[in-house]
Amino acid sequence: MGYDTASKTDPESVVPEEFGGMWFLKEDLESDHLGFSILELEPGGKGKEHDETHTDQEEIYYTVEGTAEIELTDREETVTLEADDLIRLDAEESRQIFNRGDERVKLVLVGAPL
C-alpha cells in the first residue's frame, strides 16, 4: 500500500496521563526511516534527559500549543519554543523538554537517521 494512517491514541502513551502523554507513531505508520511522536506535558511536566547517539538521528521539535523549554544540558543553555516555533537537534546534543508554564504543551517530534 502507498500510505498508512494512524491516530495519536492508537499506541499506548509511554508517559502517565497525569503528566500529559507521549505517543510513538513510527510503528503504527509503518515508517521505515522516520520517527514521529507526539508529546503533551502538563504544567510542571518534563521529558527525560537524553541524546540520540544510539539511533544516530537528528530530531526536529515543533511546538503546536503552549510554551516549551528545551534545556541543552551539555551547553547549560535553554531554548524557549512557543506555538509554531521549531528546533532541530543533532544526535549528540543532550536535551530535556520542560513545561514551566501554566498551560499544557503539545509538541510534534520528528527524527530521522543522519
Count of domains for the chain: 1
Q: Write the CB contacts of 87 (distance below 8 Å, at least 6 apart in sequence).
A: 60, 61, 70, 79, 81
Query: Is 30 within a domain?
Result: no
Q: What is the pLDDT of residue 1?
A: 62
Query: Is 35 within a domain?
Result: no
Q: Write the CB contacts of 80 (distance below 8 Å, at least 6 apart in sequence).
A: 67, 68, 69, 70
Query: Is 53 within a domain?
Result: yes
**16-56 pLDDT, tens digit each:** 888 999 999 999 999 999 999 999 999 999 999 999 999 99
Q: What is the mean pLDDT of residues 82-100?
A: 97
d(CA 66, CA 83): 6
19: region left, alpha or beta (phi > 0 left; psi from -120 to 50 alpha): alpha
